[in-house]
């Protein structure tokens, strides 16, 4: 359905001729249809529009009006239809303004006890929060209800006399813990490469039946594990009606196959095009990048940031189709006697992975990531917790790449019995660095994927890295670590190599009973 957006009093520049560059689309290309017609009685979005125009004196632009009407859809019992909704739109289209208007509406009109804002970049969340604080203090109808503004000790909190609070926090596993969140705004969901931050905020809303989380983000890439999973589920519901009806999507993006110089693609991804966004700025960049010799990385950045489209890998190390076809749900429970483990670490030491592999009876090798550690203390946490995992899993062998980032923890992982350490490694476990074979190990995993001789159960983080990792130039290549973590892929490749090269265990001793 198409709704007439409430008129905006904002000043709009005269757009270029429609046949040259169309105005940005107010309606997203992909969106979840409402369960019933949207009116002031069935969507709180109309009240948000009135609040922005009449109280804040900062009207929402047409696309923002369209979005708040749809994200504000109400169920017959008055709860928001969407507990989670994705707004995916290209950069520089007014996301910050939309965030601050929603936050202030939830606080001062709905009087929600806890509004929480989060972003991978805390400074970005702080920017929206500071704009909201400034606007509240400068708006006569709101200023008298501002009780306090706290800044310091890692906290930014706007409190009202109605005992409502607008807090911000980093998108980490601790970001939303210890709070009961009624409304939340998640900025740049594309930057969340693990589920920890998402879980922290989502679980903090579980006790609130009427809770709602609005995610506003640009399009992600293959590393954007959380965004990719939520978007896939939301698009599936749009296309088939199957899945969670309370997960919504409003996506402004160029259609697949759009050329970077196509104005229709610019308009689909940029609702402010020809309004607050000068088409000449995009046209100039697109023309330059369409010329021979343009830097592929810069082109990819344009496609992501301006067209709001996902960019495929330039030099994939693992065949994505093959990796998908290697998904065979199962466990390693029946192969524990021939288990191999491998650890790896990202170059910045903020992501560590423990992976397992074992050769199955049919000759294929099954892999899985057993545990991951994230954050500044990831390497130290892995060092501390790894002995417990090894004692629990009792592998035949544990390995790592001494020439890679895991060298940072090698001193604690290596066999130290000659140095007098008695409890490491445990009896029956061999620990060994994978030395001088990195190319063979990486290319070996690619061979297994191509031959469909490796199986996995489809873990989000592993899938994301397997689909994202590229290979270095040359005939003897390795996985490229730059541009994102490849620790899971390295750990899995190492575990496969160790599992394939395990010596065959000796046959069990036969018991001979002497005849009398």
Segment 110-130, tens digit of pLDDT: 999 999 998 877 777 788 889
- Does residue 299 fall inside a structural domain? no
- Does residue 309 fall inside a structural domain? no
Distance, in Å, from the CA atom of 263 to the CA atom of 219, rounded to the nearest integer, reads 19
Average pLDDT, the chain: 88
Three-class secondary structure of residue 133 per DSSP: helix
User: What whole-number percentage of the chain has pLDDT above 90?
Assistant: 63
Distance, in Å, from the CA atom of 206 to the CA atom of 202, rounded to the nearest integer, reads 7
With a cut of 60, say whether residue 407 has pLDDT above it: yes
Q: Following DSSP, what letter does each residue of 390-434 receive, concatenated?
A: HHHH--SEEEE-TTSGGGGGHHHHS--GGGT--SSSPTT-EEEE-
Where does the pLDDT of residue 323 fall: very low under 50, low under 70, confident under 90, or very high at 90 and above?
A: very high
pLDDT for the residue 19: 46
With a cut of 70, say whether residue 154 has pLDDT above it: no
Q: Is the CB of residue 500 less than 8 Å from the CB of residue 255?
A: no
- Domain hosting 228: range is 30-251
With a cut of 60, say whether residue 157 has pLDDT above it: yes
Interstrand relation of 340-345 and 397-400 (parallel, antiparallel or unpaired): parallel
pLDDT for the residue 153: 72
- Does residue 235 fall inside a structural domain? yes
pTM given for the model: 0.70
Residues 237 and 324 in one domain: no
- Show Cβ contacts of residue 127 under 8 Å, excluding neighbours closer than 6 positions: 96
Residues 179 and 34 in one domain: yes
Where does the pLDDT of residue 419 fall: very low under 50, low under 70, confident under 90, or very high at 90 and above?
A: low
User: How deeply is 98 buried, as exposed, middle or buried, from its count of CB atoms within 10 A (0-12, 13-18, 19+)?
Assistant: buried
Residues 91 and 234 in one domain: yes
Boundary of a domain, candidates 251, 270, 304: 251
Q: Which of 189, 250, 213 is nearest to 67 (CA)?
A: 250
Distance, in Å, from the CA atom of 280 to the CA atom of 288, rounded to the nearest integer, reads 12
Segment 258-283, tens digit of pLDDT: 999 999 999 999 999 999 999 999 99
Quickly count: other Cβ atoms within 10 Å of residue 423's Cβ: 10
Residues 175 and 39 in one domain: yes
- Does residue 304 fall inside a structural domain? no
Q: What is the mean pLDDT of residues 18-22?
A: 66
Tokens of 154: 């890692």
Quickly count: other Cβ atoms within 10 Å of residue 204's Cβ: 22
Is the torsion defined by CA of 134, 139, 144, 145 positive or negative? negative
H runs (alpha helix) in 164-295:
196-203, 225-240, 263-269, 279-289
Boundary of a domain, candidates 224, 251, 278: 251
Q: What is the tally of structural domains in the chain?
A: 2
Q: Return the CATH number at 145.
A: 3.40.50.300
Q: What is the mean pLDDT of residues 184-195?
A: 84
More confident residue, 299 or 28: 28
- Does residue 7 fall inside a structural domain? no
Residues 59 and 168 in one domain: yes
pLDDT for the residue 6: 38
- DSSP summary character for residue 80: B
Tokens of 322: 């093959």
Residues 195 and 114 in one domain: yes
Q: Which of 18, 2, 14 is nearest to 264 (CA)?
A: 18
Q: Which of 503, 458, 496, 455 is nearest to 479 (CA)?
A: 496
Residues 344 and 247 in one domain: no
Distance, in Å, from the CA atom of 396 to the CA atom of 341, rounded to the nearest integer, reads 8
Segment 362-385, tens digit of pLDDT: 999 999 999 999 878 889 999 999
Residues 75 and 211 in one domain: yes
- Show Cβ contacts of residue 338 under 8 Å, excluding neighbours closer than 6 positions: 358, 359, 396, 499, 502, 505
Instruction: Give the HSE-up count for residue 513: Cα atoms under 13 Å, Cβ half-sphere.
Output: 2
With a cut of 80, say whether residue 436 has pLDDT above it: no
More confident residue, 236 or 436: 236
- Does residue 314 fall inside a structural domain? no
Q: Return the CATH number at 344.
A: 3.30.420.240
pLDDT for the residue 425: 84
pLDDT for the residue 12: 40
More confident residue, 171 or 380: 380
More confident residue, 156 or 444: 444
pLDDT for the residue 4: 36
Lowest-confidence region among 333-347, 415-429, 446-460: 415-429
Q: What is the mean pLDDT of residues 11-29?
A: 68
* Sheet of strand 365-374: strand arrangement: 430-433, 397-400, 340-345, 351-359, 365-374, 454-455
Residues 37 and 141 in one domain: yes
Distance, in Å, from the CA atom of 395 to the CA atom of 29, rounded to the nearest integer, reads 50
- Does residue 83 fall inside a structural domain? yes
Segment 441-462, tens digit of pLDDT: 999 999 999 999 999 999 988 9
Q: What is the mean pLDDT of residues 395-407?
A: 93
Tokens of 262: 């196509």
- Does residue 510 fall inside a structural domain? no
Residues 236 and 355 in one domain: no
Tokens of 180: 């009961």
Residues 482 and 368 in one domain: yes
Q: What is the mean pLDDT of residues 22-43?
A: 97
Boundary of a domain, candidates 251, 286, 303: 251
Q: What is the mean pLDDT of residues 313-332?
A: 88
Segment 223-254, tens digit of pLDDT: 787 898 899 999 999 999 999 999 999 999 99
With a cut of 70, say whether residue 417 has pLDDT above it: no
């Amino acid at each position: 359905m198409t709704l007439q957006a409430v008129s905006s009093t904002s000043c709009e520049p005269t757009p270029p001729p429609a046949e040259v560059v169309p105005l940005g689309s107010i309606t997203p290309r992909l969106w979840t249809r409402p369960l019933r017609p949207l009116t002031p009685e069935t969507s709180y979005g109309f009240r948000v529009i009135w609040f922005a125009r009449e109280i804040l004196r900062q009207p929402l632009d047409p696309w923002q009006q369209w979005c708040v009407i749809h994200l504000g859809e109400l169920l017959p019992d008055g709860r928001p239809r969407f507990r989670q909704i994705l707004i995916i739109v290209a950069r520089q289209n007014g996301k910050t303004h939309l965030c601050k208007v929603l936050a202030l509406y939830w606080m001062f009109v709905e009087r929600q006890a806890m509004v929480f804002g989060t972003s991978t970049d805390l400074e970005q969340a702080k920017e929206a929060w500071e704009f909201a604080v400034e606007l509240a203090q400068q708006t006569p109808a709101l200023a008298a209800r501002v009780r306090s503004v706290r800044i310091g000790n890692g906290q930014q909190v706007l409190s009202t006399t109605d005992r409502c609070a607008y807090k911000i926090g980093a998108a980490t596993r601790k970001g939303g813990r210890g709070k009961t969140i009624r409304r939340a705004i998640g900025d740049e969901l594309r930057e969340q490469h693990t589920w920890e931050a998402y879980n922290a905020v989502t679980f903090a809303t579980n006790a609130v039946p009427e809770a709602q989380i609005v995610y506003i983000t640009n399009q992600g890439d293959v590393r954007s594990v959380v965004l990719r999973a939520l978007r896939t589920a939301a698009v599936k519901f749009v296309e088939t009606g199957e899945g969670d009806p309370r997960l919504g999507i409003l996506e402004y993006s160029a259609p697949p196959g759009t050329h970077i110089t196509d104005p229709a693609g610019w308009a689909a991804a940029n609702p402010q095009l020809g309004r607050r966004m000068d088409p000449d700025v995009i046209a100039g960049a697109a023309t330059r990048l369409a010329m021979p010799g343009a830097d592929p990385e810069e082109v990819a950045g344009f496609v992501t940031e301006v067209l709001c489209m996902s960019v495929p890998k330039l030099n994939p190390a693992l065949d994505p189709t093959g990796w998908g076809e290697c998904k065979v749900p199962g466990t390693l429970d029946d192969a524990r006697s021939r288990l191999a483990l491998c650890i790896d670490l990202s170059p910045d030491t903020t992501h560590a992975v423990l992976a397992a592999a074992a050769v199955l009876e049919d000759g294929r090798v099954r892999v899985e990531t057993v545990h991951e550690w994230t954050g500044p203390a990831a390497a130290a946490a892995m060092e501390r917790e790894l002995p417990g995992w090894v004692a629990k899993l009792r592998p035949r062998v544990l390995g790592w790449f001494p020439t890679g980032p895991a060298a940072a923890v090698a001193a604690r992982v290596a066999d130290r019995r000659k140095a007098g350490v008695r409890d490491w490694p445990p009896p029956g476990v061999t620990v060994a660095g994978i030395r001088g074979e990195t190319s063979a190990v990486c290319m070996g995993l690619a061979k297994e994927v191509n031959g469909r001789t490796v199986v996995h159960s489809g873990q989000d983080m592993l899938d994301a890295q397997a689909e994202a990792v590229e290979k270095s130039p040359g005939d003897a290549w390795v996985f490229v670590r730059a541009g994102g973590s490849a620790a899971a892929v390295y750990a899995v490749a190492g575990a496969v190599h160790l599992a394939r090269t395990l010596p065959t265990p000796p046959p069990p001793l036969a018991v001979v009973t002497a005849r009398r």
